[in-house]
Amino acid sequence: MKFERDLIRSVAEPIVLKLVAERAMYGYEIIKVVNERTNQAFEWKEGTLYPCLHRLEGQGLIESEWMTAESGKDRKYYKITRKGRARLKEKLSEWSAFSTAMESLFANIIGGQRYADEYTG
Amino acid sequence: MQTNTQGEGEDPRIAEFLNQCTEGLNVDPELRIQTQRELRSHLESRMAEQADDEDPVGAALQAMGPVVEIAGPLQTENVRRMKARAMVRLAVRAVLIPAALLVSLWLLWDAASKAFVVMAMTNSKPLDPFVSLPGLTDEEKFILHGDKDIPDPAERTRALWKHFPDDPVYLAQYLATAASTSSADTPEFSEGLTAAVKLDPDNAFYHFLAANIAAKKAFANVEHDENGIRLDVIDNHAAETFYTETLKAANSKRCDSYRDELARRRLAILGRFPSQSIELRREQYAAVVGTLGNNVTLPLFRFAMGYVQILHDNGRSDEATSLANAFTTLSDHQLADTGNTLIDWVTVMALADLTSTCLPIASAGLPVSAPTRRKIEEARLMSSEIHAHLDSKPDIPFLSEIKTKGGILGAGAADLGTSLIWDPDIRFDLTPGRWLEYVLLERFSLVVFLSLLIVISAWCIVRFQWIRWRRMSAPQGHSSIPLLLVPRAKEIAMVVGVGVIMPLALYFLYSRSTAISGRDFNATTQIYRFVAEQIVLWITMLGTVGMLTRRFVRNRFCQLGISEREENSLYRATLMRSAAPILAAVALTCALIVHPYLDAQESRLLKEDTMMQVDPDRGFSRFESKMVEAIRNTMLAAKDPDE
């Protein structure tokens, strides 16, 4: 299932924060992890990731450092800052509330539809 | 503008793709290079995954998606960041370096003016620097300095007198200035003397001046020995003038050069300025001004002694006796009515010597009144006792000590007091004054260091431009320009903290702690040590700042991943370009730390320096008062040994 680009973009920030909070990651690795964990559903592209990384770095939520990976290649690793962790916490609780509200909303809508269907039966 | 980061043997499609992706970042070359490097690394990962493909580069590029989907958002997300960074770079180039230059120039002026004042206090032109003080009225400047358009000092003081024709103070200043220069043998000087005698008829000073001028013409081959003064008369007319004027002076009721009044007037003007630097100048001026009166009066007395002897030797006993009596009367008058300035006491000292010379003449059977004879005898006794006392203590340790440890003022004052008895406790008064000298020297050291930083910064900029020009004009041409790397807060804190604050803190701890430095402050004897210490400090600071700057630029440069073949000249030019503002920041930090600290020290030392404290009862300064007190006690003790 493909998602709308705007929807993907709107959740990019908490996703990146969550991933670099787990461990330091470089850009390509983040894309791979996201795509793997979503079974390719998100199918992130570089045009989604790098602007997001630059924005977060500009806001001081993440910081970067060039390091040599196990492969021997230089990679720019991103890791979360203290400010980033605080933002992540906010985002996660916001997302949780949003998700609950949405579920509740959709449950009511779905339940109401069933009732209507039975009543008009 | 292209940013050439293409690797050797790299598929040109990659460089083109990266350039297109980062086109929107071209106003920030560092950000663009960093982003290109990151995207290249990303691309390489994709290529490695698609190594089995026929065209791994093409496949990787396709997987990256359309250029526009990367370039657009990248630019959008970085607009604010690029603007902020551009502002910082502009501030660094347009504000930091000029600010450091201005601060350095201001400190240079400040230190130079203070040093100039100190030097001026020890020679004959003490007031020139004050004229630039803000807030002085034109009339005050005129009083302090005279007409600046008139270069000749005598003419300048004459103009001041002409502006205030009824003021004996300015007239005396003009005549004293003219007498000390070659302007004495002029009609203007004679006019001044005539006016002075009319304006101030009871004052011996003008007759002394006239006698002094005549003495220069009249006598030659002046020799001093234990028998007194011997000289040849080469102009009898001038000698007669000398005699007449000296006699008039001796018969005058008082002798006043008005130097103290002149000084008080000037101090009344300068005293309005509350800053400690002005206070320093004022007090230094006051301490030195007391020494100046001797330049005129003492030589006259010495000549007078010799002349009395000559008159006697040439059979003019009446005149010799008359002059001797006049001198002893003057001496008696001065002894009875001695003021409390140093000049009066030195005058008395000379008078005592004079009367001792006159005594054999005065007592040669010619009529001398009993009271006068008694006074003459007392004066002779006083003079001989003083000399005997001094002869028994030919080496007064404090005098050499004050010369070597007393600093600028101490050394000058010691010359004055070479034949005086000193209160040994006064030596402790000199410690703050010696520190004050060091603070002054440290101001100079700071300025030299700041100038050094400015020169190195300028050299860095020139060098950067040169390398840039060479890169641009190379046959193949280099499209990438050297970068201006602005250090992050942590990096600048490291440079300033370790390169500036820490060495300064260690230096001040070392120099101010006698236990560590083992220093007995003395600018005269320890100037080489001082210079060596300053050079060590400069080298430490410059070396540390240079090393940290190089490390910062190299680290940042490595992060950009610029290829090796580029590194040599591009790295050097980037280092030069980035070092200039860092050095400017170091100069500013240094100035902002050291200047207020030295100001505070100067203020504290001036307060503590008893040598600089005015004693309202005796003379201008406590230093002078001590001297006066010592002379007074010695003379009284010599006069009445039993009391």
Asked if A37 reaches chain B (Cβ–Cβ under 8 Å), the answer is no
Nearest CA in chain B to A60: B81
Residue among A45, A51, A75 minimizing CB distance to B41: A75
Q: Are B71 and B22 in contact (CB under 8 A)?
A: yes
Residue ranges in B92-167 assigned as alpha helix (H): 97-121, 138-145, 153-163
DSSP B203: B
In a domain, B474, yes or no: yes
Q: pLDDT tens-digit profile of A10-61?
A: 788 889 999 999 999 998 889 888 888 887 777 777 888 888 898 898 888 9
The residue among B387, B388, B355 whose CA lies nearest residue B374 is: B355
**pLDDT < 70 positions in chain B:** 1-9, 113-135, 145, 182-183, 222-231, 247, 249-257, 259-261, 263-264, 266-434, 436-437, 474-480, 519-525, 563-567, 606-643
Asked if B369 reaches chain A (Cβ–Cβ under 8 Å), the answer is no
Q: What is the pTM of this model?
A: 0.56
Distance CA A83, CA B55 (A): 43
Residue among A45, A52, A73 minimizing CB distance to B44: A73
Q: Are B413 and B291 in contact (CB under 8 A)?
A: yes
Q: CB distance A46–B70 less than 8 Å? A: yes
- What is the amino acid identity at position B522? N
A vs B: CB pairs below 8 A = 59
Asked if B50 reaches chain A (Cβ–Cβ under 8 Å), the answer is no
In a domain, B57, yes or no: yes
Distance CA B107, CA B363 (A): 66
Looking at residue B638, its pLDDT comes to 40
- HSE toward the beta carbon, residue A22, CA cutoff 13 A: 11
Tokens of B418: 């070479």
What domain range is B54 assigned to? 1-65
Q: pLDDT tens-digit profile of B606-634?
A: 666 554 454 444 433 444 445 445 444 54
- What is the amino acid identity at position B565? R
Residue B345 sits at the vertex; the CA angle it makes with B618 and B323, to the nearest 5 degrees, is 150
- Min Cα separation B596/chain A (Å): 36
For B:403-462, CB contacts with A below 8 A are: none
Helix (H) / strand (E) containing B3: none
Looking at this predicted complex, what is its ipTM? 0.80
Looking at residue B37, its pLDDT comes to 87
Looking at residue B70, its pLDDT comes to 86
In a domain, B419, yes or no: no
Residues on chain A touching B73 (C-beta within 8 angstroms): 47-48, 50-51
In a domain, B619, yes or no: no
Looking at residue B566, its pLDDT comes to 55
Looking at residue B508, its pLDDT comes to 92
In a domain, B315, yes or no: no
Q: State yes or no: pLDDT of A104 exceeds 90.
A: no
Q: CB distance B69–A50 less than 8 Å? A: no
Asked if B555 reaches chain A (Cβ–Cβ under 8 Å), the answer is no
Asked if B66 reaches chain A (Cβ–Cβ under 8 Å), the answer is yes
In a domain, B147, yes or no: no
Asked if B554 reaches chain A (Cβ–Cβ under 8 Å), the answer is no
Residues on chain A touching B77 (C-beta within 8 angstroms): 51-52, 54-55, 58
In a domain, B624, yes or no: no
In a domain, B601, yes or no: yes
Q: CB distance A46–B45 less than 8 Å? A: no
Q: What is the tally of structural domains in chain B?
A: 2
Asked if A28 reaches chain B (Cβ–Cβ under 8 Å), the answer is yes
Instruction: Specify the CATH number of the domain A5-93.
Output: 1.10.10.10
Q: Are B622 and B613 in contact (CB under 8 A)?
A: yes
